[in-house]
Structure 1
């Protein structure tokens, strides 16, 4: 069996902000922390990176900075989705130009295309740029669900190498393993179900929680990958409260609050997001303590 191109713990990086601007020093420190913890890859400018509210110049700068700092030590999968196909192609081309290892392309949001439109969108991107593409299905945010049959059709394209599945539906991965021949990376986009997803044959997780607890998420993945499910459950139990708490408010506000508690960045987010509500903070504090990060 061909080894997966993308696997393991891949952190969906936050974008630290200070006084309205990207805090590049904090970004570098956060990325170095991820690499030291043993993560297998990072995603700059995904949903967790506030890609929807940063400017085009900021988007490009964060990806360039990430590639430069990573310097080949971990894979960089650039967030490159857009609601329009031409814009998505521009972003994937930029990712290739600056040296990213792949592109994470979310289903077009707001305009809610049909399955035929989704297939045409992703095929146009894959044809335009010679860079590995991960599909990203997160219907709770985009308003459209990438159907299993559409994923299978897209998997036939050599530049479409896998999917980030943020549906939390364990039945999908079993269907895809049965109906997609050849190598195709199956990556969870849902921290809480990563143990089950990888036990079903997934190759990894694109994680929000690993922003805050990268070592523990790596230990969880490594336990699953080695077949030690008892150890994996121990790590999952330790992380369960944190995985939940980071979504008690609009993400990535809770992750930024947790990282601010650890002294790694400010809580600042870009409007229309606002900082985590005071009423949620005690639950995050308790989850940090449960994860050994109090």
Structure 2
């Protein structure tokens, strides 16, 4: 599980999975595994549970560990799971990272501790070092997760370069969800290869693909896996230009809603299953009027599960 200059950190599409909930707001393991199997069946390289889109920090250590186990028990190969192990408390991040290693997961998506703000680069480096040294496992693969508009703690070039130098086998890539194309391009110029740079903002996927990025962790891939895959694999095809415009249209539509409740609303529309509307506090589920409005817009937009 090492990284080399000829092997990008991530290949293919790894949807940032939405997390289905039961009426008591516990994780619905059966729907979770079924969703992951469907995504892999649609051609996704793997799945990413408990990232930002999956409301990861809203679930406890045990809930996340049990749900990942349920994915494997439900027929999802562990080697096709990129586990988001990000927690505010380092011992919990380490525990989830050890669990990912124990089950044979592909790797871990890890943001810096995100409760305290204004921390120094050295503090961020020390946090990652405590997890990596604590895991003490040569199989460890980490995608560094940069999403400062959510975490309040970014990853500077100095942090990335230092961790890459200290742990050249463990640090295999960067997920840049800052939604700043110039920043993503600068990361690619500085670190790719040997690191992979993978953007979370789908309109930026073709540009990064031209620079050599071969994969993505994408929220829209929950229901547009084939379209997102084309943005990465075929950045200059005429059909991809049309796909890109569709993505921009959809994101503009979603701008009128809270993002994760709206993404779950799209899943409810596509599956006919209202269970998908449930979210954990502090998020607020779409009320009936907002859901009906979203449903009308999504049906007008048109999502074809055979091609999208």
Q: Which residue of 1 aligns with 2:267?
A: 259
Q: Which residue of 1 aligns with 2:18?
A: 14
Q: For the structure 1 residues 293 and 42, does the alpha-carbon distance in structure 2 shift closer, same or farther, using more than 3 Å as the test? A: same
2: CA distance between counterparts of 1:205 and 1:181? 14
Deviations along 1:180-232, whole A, 9 cap, x unmatched? Answer: 375211111222322223233323221110112222222332212xxx34332
Q: TM-score, normalised by structure 2?
A: 0.85
Q: Is the 8 A contact 2:142 2:173 kept in 1?
A: yes
Deviations along 1:116-160, whole A, 9 cap, x unmatched? Answer: 111111122222222101110100011122112221222221211
SS of the residue 1:43 aligns to = coil
2: CA distance between counterparts of 1:286 and 1:68? 37
Q: Say yes or no: does 1:125 pair with 2:131.
A: yes
2: CA distance between counterparts of 1:189 and 1:70? 27
The range that moved more, 173-182 or 254-263, is 173-182
- By how many angstroms is 1:252 displaced? 1.6
1: CA distance between counterparts of 2:129 and 2:156? 15
Backbone CA RMSD of aligned residues: 2.3
Q: Is the 8 A contact 2:209 2:233 kept in 1?
A: no
Q: TM-score, normalised by structure 1?
A: 0.89
Q: For the structure 1 residues 216 and 12, does the alpha-carbon distance in structure 2 shift closer, same or farther, using more than 3 Å as the test? A: same
Q: Which residue of 2 aligns with 1:243?
A: 251
SS of the residue 1:161 aligns to = strand
Pairing 1:181-192 to 2, within 5 Å after superposition: 182-192=193-203
Q: Which residue of 2 aligns with 1:47?
A: 52
SS of the residue 2:174 aligns to = strand
Aligned positions, number? 291
SS of the residue 1:164 aligns to = strand
Q: Is the 8 A contact 1:70 1:76 kept in 2?
A: no
The range that moved more, 165-174 or 66-75, is 66-75
Pairing 1:6-155 to 2, within 5 Å after superposition: 6-20=10-24, 21-69=26-74, 71-72=76-77, 75-112=80-117, 113-129=119-135, 130=137, 131-155=140-164
Q: For the structure 1 residues 72 and 25, does the alpha-carbon distance in structure 2 shift closer, same or farther, using more than 3 Å as the test? A: closer
Pairing 1:136-215 to 2, within 5 Å after superposition: 136-156=145-165, 157=167, 158-180=169-191, 182-215=193-226
Q: Is the 8 A contact 1:109 1:144 kept in 2?
A: yes
Q: Is the 8 A contact 1:242 1:288 kept in 2?
A: no
- By how many angstroms is 1:38 displaced? 0.5
Q: Is the 8 A contact 2:12 2:214 kept in 1?
A: yes
Structure number with the higher strand fraction is: 1
1: CA distance between counterparts of 2:155 and 2:299? 34
Q: Which residue of 2 aligns with 1:274?
A: 284
Q: Is the 8 A contact 2:269 2:295 kept in 1?
A: no
- By how many angstroms is 1:49 displaced? 1.4
2: CA distance between counterparts of 1:159 and 1:217? 27
- By how many angstroms is 1:73 displaced? 8.2
The range that moved more, 123-132 or 39-48, is 123-132
